[in-house]
A and B are shown apart, each in its own frame.
Chain A
Amino acid sequence: MAHITLPDLPGIRGPMAFRPETAKPLNELAEILLRDDNNTLSRGERELIGAYVSSLNDCFFCQNVHGALAGHYLNCDTPAIDAIKKDYQSTSISDKLKSLLSIAASVQKGGKNVTPEQIEQAKKHGATDREIHDTVLIAAAFCMFNRYVDGLATWAPQDRLYYVNRAPIRAAEGYIDFDLYKNL
């Protein structure tokens, strides 16, 4: 049971329905960071960073929502996304993305864990300042979202297909102004 009385909605929807004024900038942040196409990192890559950090934070809801979105954009199935979350180094994603996930992992532990060597490695593999900035901010933002969702003890549908089925809708509608009570 959630720690406060929330509308009976899954995951982050409950807290967002509880307080729409804070939901607005949270969704605007998600939209610009994860979905805006004026970005040299693809939507799939950015959702993957979010899903990966959420798995490190052991947040079931977030890692499944964003893992399913990553799978949708990258055109790969749940086992492939799970393999990346578990051990991205041994997968066939690009070296640049591997170096960015390494930075994201450090951010998850704490900002000061990011080393100059990790930054250098990312730049060596072609990461721009903007891509590094966004990687750090996505990782940091998910450290917020995961704590919001779990800190209020919201509930998450346990069937993983639930998230896979809804990914195309979220991908098409985006994060701004979407109806929290629709497509449950």
Chain B
Amino acid sequence: MAHIQVEDGVPGIRSLVMFRPETGRPLYELAQILLRGESTLSEGERELIATHVSSRNNCMFCMNSHAAAARCLYGDEKNIVDEVIKDVHQATVSEKLKTLLNIAGKVQILGKEVTENDVAEARQRGATDREIHDTVLIAATFCMFNRYVDGLASWTPTDPAIYEEMGKRMAKGYVLPQARTETKL
């Protein structure tokens, strides 16, 4: 049961932004810009960073939903998502993405864990300033989302089918959900 009174049957962050849409709006806008906005990192790569950080933060709702979105975006290559969840060091991602996932993993611990060496290795593999910036901000943002979702004990479904549906919707973009009592769709 969530720590506050949220709408029944609505999972994770969706229940929370329905509870407080004024803060939900910038949160979804941030997700949309970061994960779906123009970037030299593909949407799939950015969702992988989100999935990896959420896994490290042990937030099952975020990890499973963003993994599902990543699988949709990777299409035939979707096995890569489970590889990253299982062991990021063994995953068959590009060398550049590996260095960015390493940076994201350091940010997950704390900002100061990112070393000049981590960044140098990313640059050696072709990472740009913008890609490094976005990696740090995506990782930081998911350190927020994971704490928000679990800090209020919002409902974490266990049925993979629920996440698969969520993933399909998320792959298209992040749109602030309306409370059910307001829409009759």
Contacts and interface: CB of A to CB of B under 8 A. Distances in A.
B175 interface: no
B144 A140 contact: yes
Contacts of B139: 147, 151
Contacts, number: 155
Nearest to A57: B110
Counting chain B CB atoms within 10 Å of each CB, the highest count among A58, A107, A111 belongs to: A111
Given A32-B26, A112-B58, A140-B151, A15 B143 contact: no
Nearest to B120: A3
B3 A116 contact: yes
B148 A137 contact: yes
Q: Is the interface of A mostly helix, strand, loop or mixed?
A: helix
A57 to B, nearest CB: 6
B137 A22 contact: yes
Given A111-B152, A136-B147, 14 more contacts: A3-B132, A4-B129, A4-B133, A21-B37, A24-B33, A26-B26, A26-B30, A110-B146, A111-B59, A140-B144, A140-B147, A149-B111, A152-B132, A152-B133
Interface of B: 3-5, 16, 19-20, 22-23, 25-27, 29-30, 33-34, 37, 57-59, 103, 106-107, 110-112, 114, 116, 119, 129-130, 132-134, 136-137, 139-141, 143-153
13 contacts: A57-B111, A58-B112, A110-B150, A130-B20, A137-B20, A137-B23, A140-B146, A140-B151, A145-B140, A146-B110, A148-B137, A151-B103, A152-B111
